[in-house]
Chain A
Amino acid sequence: MKRKLWIILGMFGLIATSTWVFGDDGEGHTTWLTRLWREARLDVAPANDVLYRAECGSCHFAYQPGLLPVRSWEEIMKRLDDHFGESAELDVRSSAEITRYLTANAADRVDYKRSKRFAAAAATAEPTLRITATRYFLHKHDEIPQWVLEQGERPLKLFQCDICHTEADKGSYDEHQVHIPGLGRWED
């Protein structure tokens, strides 16, 4: 009986310390352990390049370089004047700098969990320019029925990663963090 009590007390202790170590203090400050913990769970490296974020992230979600292989990024950057039907032209210097950033951190050059999966899937198929058309992406999203995408006020588009993946901008695509607007949590 006494032993049981100690176990329960011990569990409370564990929970209490884990929220202290891994939790926010409510004002957005996080402990170094929290950061370490989050870092370890990242699926891809966050897209923190200032120029890339400014030039590409002002029109769409700043897709992490680790979501496509080198060949895809090179192709995308070669044809910015027809960027999926729009002009996204950049001056030569910015374009070269962004190309360097994207290719140096591409799926087949870095070591993050999902980058490796994207790279592996791309290695066996013709590389596509669309992340949403890569085999790995399709495989991970194939269980989402059409009605889910159309149930809200505005139809959801699969290229808007951060609409459902609440931590996408930080490089985390954990399934437990998925929150579909209008539907809530989603797990398959």
Chain B
Amino acid sequence: MLVPVATLADTTDQALADYRAQGAGTFDGDAGRRLWNTEQSTADRTTRSCVSCHGADPTRPGRHVRTDETIKPMAPSINPKRLTERREIEKWFLRNCKWTFGRECSAQEKGDILSYLRRQ
């Protein structure tokens, strides 16, 4: 029996369409890259960004800044499971935007970051 498998294109295209429906404009991978690298100051005077845990190179594994746990590469070219599940995408955006930026990300920001990551 053939089981339909969600692909990177299916899932991210659908996510981007939804973000657009929520009012976002055109998505820009370069804006996503800048956001990915944006450092946010925290109350304890450390800075954090997506890079803190995922590392500067999305094709390489990251390391959780608190627990030291290895995080598999974000680049779909290296890790084909990335960006194939909508539920996962939204879960991690919710958790990680709150931790990194202290707030949820907007539809525009999520779309920009997805556009950046999908081409890695």
Contacts and interface: CB of A to CB of B under 8 A. Distances in A.
Nearest to B97: A87
B91 A91 contact: yes
B91 A90 contact: yes
B34 interface: no
Interface in A66-84: 81, 84
A159 interface: yes
A184 B11 CA distance: 46
Contacts of A88: 95
Interface residues of A, number: 17
A60 B99 contact: no
Nearest to B72: A58
Interface string A142-157: 0000000000001001
Contacts, number: 35
A61 B91 contact: no
Q: How large is the interface on B (under 10, 10 to 19, 20 to 34, 35 or more residues)?
A: 10 to 19
Contacts of B64: 59-60
B95 A159 contact: no
A59 B69 contact: yes
A157 to B, nearest CB: 7
B9 interface: no
25 contacts: A58-B71, A59-B64, A59-B67, A59-B69, A60-B67, A60-B69, A61-B67, A61-B69, A81-B98, A86-B66, A86-B99, A87-B94, A87-B95, A87-B96, A87-B98, A89-B91, A89-B94, A89-B98, A90-B91, A91-B87, A91-B91, A154-B68, A157-B67, A157-B68, A160-B67
Interface of A: 58-61, 81, 84-91, 154, 157, 159-160
Given A59-B69, A86-B95, 20 more contacts: A58-B69, A58-B71, A59-B64, A59-B67, A60-B64, A60-B67, A60-B69, A61-B69, A81-B98, A84-B66, A85-B66, A87-B94, A87-B99, A88-B95, A89-B91, A89-B94, A91-B87, A157-B67, A157-B68, A160-B68
